[in-house]
Chains A and B, each alone.
Chain A
């Protein structure tokens, strides 16, 4: 069945280092979404990418959607302790059902001060 894979599963960085998580779909996606879940919290929507090759920035976060619309990445420049959490990508299910999202397993980021 349709899958969204995300790597790495865990990433430990020193504060100030960069961080990247990668998302790969088994099918072409109409859009891809990114969520952040802080420790003890719930996933919160960050951004949606729709166009092939699209790049969007939110302060130190850069999101990319691949040309084939099957992969995406989230890059954080100069991580801070506030970036700690799990980052999920998600794409719409393609089986024709209504509004379901397929989530990657997430990348858990820890930042050492």
Chain B
């Protein structure tokens, strides 16, 4: 079974903290994605990566950065957490550039207080 694992299910951080969300996939997928999900807004793409050390901005990259040093790991970084970044964060991966199905992690519910 393909597995996409996010490091935390729930996280509470203080405003201004630097926050790291980790995602690991075990199927040698080339593409990895970070989304945030908010009620009524669906899944919004923050960043994605199609190769090690490669990254592309999604629709809402402001306030976020990413790191992909190894193929299996894609990290989302909140440089200085703010309350408006309280959300559900979902990591996903796909096999290659030809749009096969996306596999999602279980999600991290981040609360910034």
How many A-B pairs have beta carbons closer than 8 Å: the answer is 63
Stretch at the interface among A12-20, A51-59, A63-71, A100-108: A100-108
Give complex CA distance A35, B35 in Å.
Answer: 15
Size of interface on B: residues with Cβ below 8 Å to A: 28
Q: How distant is the Cα of A103 from the Cα of B101 in the complex, in angstroms?
A: 12
Interface string of B19-57 (1 = CB under 8 A from A): 000000000001101010000111101001010000010
When distances are taken between beta carbons in the complex, the residues of chain B under 8 Å from A98 are: 30-31, 50, 56, 97
Within the complex, which residue of A31, A35, A104 is in contact with B99, where a contact is CB–CB below 8 Å?
A: A31
A30 at interface by CB-CB < 8 Å? yes
**B31 proximity list for chain A (CB < 8 A):** 98-100
- Please determine whether A45 and B101 come into contact, CB atoms closer than 8 angstroms: yes
Most buried by B among A31, A33, A100, A104: A100
Q: Counting chain A CB atoms within 10 Å of each CB, which of B48, B98, B99 scores highest? A: B99
A101 touches B40 (CB 8 A): no
Give the size range of A's interface with the partner: 20 to 34
Q: CB distance A105 to B40 under 8 Å?
A: yes
List of A residues within 8 angstroms of B45 by Cβ: 100
Interface residue ranges, A against B (CB under 8 Å): 9, 30-31, 33, 35, 41-45, 48, 88, 90, 92, 97-101, 103-106
Query: What are 13 sample pairs from A and B whose C-beta atoms fall under 8 A apart?
Result: A31-B99, A41-B106, A43-B102, A88-B43, A90-B102, A97-B56, A98-B50, A98-B56, A99-B50, A99-B99, A104-B42, A105-B42, A106-B42
| A-B complex: 9 closest residue pairs judged by Cβ atoms | A105-B42, A98-B50, A45-B101, A99-B31, A42-B104, A92-B99, A103-B43, A98-B97, A99-B97
